[in-house]
Structure 1
């Protein structure tokens, strides 16, 4: 067993299984939420019931899950040379130990990072359903949010994803100051625990997200190096997707600007819309046929001197092939 305690959490690798040991007062949530911008990729994810397993290079916080959090100061020369030759880097590059040490072992660290990150996926979820900044940052108000039953997902992870080796599900540990993990001074014999740690800590600036993170592990998700610059990607042999059962979706909340000039041909009345042909119309048809009993519409209301968010339950009624009514059910959660 390999483990690392930081704050009130312990990051573990036991018999090839990853885990984050939490304080007793932190319980796994019954439901989690996922925000989406309205893109073809997002719509495809809902229609096919999967979550995209991001690489750190896909994330919006540049130091999230970053190897910058790995301290290689105590890397012994013998370990350096063994790694250098064992993986054949001596055949494609010349690296001097002392020069590499003076530069923070940046080249070798990158290779370790690629080894760890190519087999792992990051899925960002939240327990916060009506947070204004989340709606603004991740759905731009014109997207949508889904509520997911975590137990349904967990019970079907292995069955629906046979190539999934293991996973870890934990809340982000928000800290005042990010600290590095001593990669070689803690007796780690692989990058697994340092990588798990680096995926689980974020600055308190991000605490409004109330993020729970699902880490998935399989072989050869690949590394999208070209996101960083003119670098060669490490090819993927498995899609970065984790599938869940249809019934795991408990609700779908449409953003307050979901219907807008990009998808509307005509507003017939307050809640009757004629849509342009395209992916949005197809998506509305899909929702009407598959999730019409669990659709909500996001809005804001005034409560005294305050403005607050709400989600009003609605359902769609097809008028004709391109026109729908959004029927209010007079049920609101805030």
Structure 2
């Protein structure tokens, strides 16, 4: 039996060396690793907690916003699997081997669907996906993921990767950083062609429809025992969640690695913040408590930023530019602003005129 398996799809080559006892799969893709990666967050207690405590959430496939992303539907078979696979996977649950064999005969008529689903559950309980983007000035990411009211973090890719690796325990595994393989036609992978599920699993977690290509997504993949399977997040599921501590899906990093934090254009809404202009460059802000369900989150966010990221704080903006024919067009910008807590829950935000054009 060969030690190395390979699979090619859409310019990506997936390979697994079985002489290596780890679960890692190498993916050759020809794309240069970005110098920086960005994470977009909507405003919530969960995103503020992640910011304060320095972690990225490694999602289960059922928590991703595309039902086909990393889905068990991406696995199929071109021929019935051998009965030995069922004995290994389902044997402990069947005291009556005749019933197990009857189950096997029924399932292979259904393209091994029950086997595939059960195996997928087991694998994804030990697998997490951290989604990032390599594109800072992504006009669609701001409205889609933050409604222009959340925030964006900027990281040096190499530093973040090394920090995530260093945070993992001996029983946990860093599986790599990979770009998404965007494809016009989403095809399932034939698991009957592979010795084990390594390549099919990595394929399923890095393949997406080309309709998502605007995201320019890169993913950190990590593995831990008992990360959980949230069946209740899947439509019409009759299965109970496999609950584990939510922290099992945290990928920690040194939060001093945040190079910049940028809030959306609509972050400081008057309905959420009291505002008082002080001259032309300064405004005093205080999160509103009344009729504001985000009050505690905004309060915690402003406290953390003013204490830890005051010199790395940016606010999104808009600017006119002229093209070569002297015609106006719009671009997004961000301006660094000094933020300082001045007492009584009041913050002073001061413009620096350090404007970055996001062309």
- Pair in the same fold by TM > 0.5: yes
Write the distance in 1 (CA, Å) between the matches of 2:182 and 2:65: 16
User: Unaligned stretches of 5+ in structure 2?
Assistant: 290-295, 323-327
Aligned partner of 1:252 among 261, 265, 284: 261
Which of residues 177, 184, 188 in structure 1 aligns to 2:192? 184
Aligned mate of 2:343, from 299, 311, 320: 320
- Asked if 2 retains the 8 angstrom alpha-carbon contact of 1:30 and 1:149, the reply is yes
Give the aligned partner of residue 11 of structure 1: 14
Matches within 5 A, 1:76-225: 76-88=81-93, 96-162=103-169, 163-185=171-193, 187-189=194-196, 191-225=197-231
Look up the SS of the partner of 1:18 in the other structure.
Answer: coil
1:230-251 residue CA offsets vs partner (Å, 9 max, x unmatched): 4211232662101101222110
Residue in 1 aligned with 2:76? 71
Bigger Cα displacement from structure 2, 9-18 vs 253-262? 9-18
Query: Matched residue of 2:244: which SS?
Result: coil
Summarize the Cα distance change of 1:84–1:135 in structure 2 as closer, same or farther, 3 Å threshold.
Answer: same
**1:226 counterpart = 2:232:** yes
Q: Mind listing any 5+ residue stretches in structure 1 that lack a counterpart?
A: none
Instruction: Pick from 304, 311, 316 the counterpart of residue 334 of structure 2.
Output: 311
Question: Per-residue deviation at 1:27?
Answer: 1.5
2:288 to 262, 269, 276: 276
Secondary structure at the residue paired with 1:64? coil
Structure 2 Cα separation of the partners of residues 11 and 60 of structure 1: 24
Count of residue pairs the alignment pairs up: 330
What's the C-alpha RMSD, in Å, of the aligned pairs?
A: 2.2
Whole-Å separation in 2 of the counterparts to 1:45 and 1:206: 25
In the alignment, which residue of structure 1 is the partner of 2:44? 39
Change in Cα spacing, 1:251 to 1:90, as seen in structure 2 (3 Å) is farther
Does the 8 Å contact 1:166/1:218 carry over to 2? no
Q: Mean Cα displacement is larger for which, 113-122 or 306-315?
A: 306-315
| Aligned equivalents of 1:248, 1:96: Cα separation in 2 | 52
Q: Deviations over 1:183-222 (max 9, x none)?
A: 012x322x22111101111111000000001111111111
Check 1:89–1:220 CA distance in 2 against 1; reply closer, same or farther (3 A cut). Answer: farther
Where 1:226 maps in the other structure, the secondary structure is: helix
CA contact (8 A) 2:48 2:300 kept: no
* Deviation for aligned residue 1:321: 2.2
Could you list the per-position Cα deviations for residues 273-310 of structure 1 after superposition, in whole angstroms to 9, with x for gaps in the alignment? 22225221221111011011111111222224322211
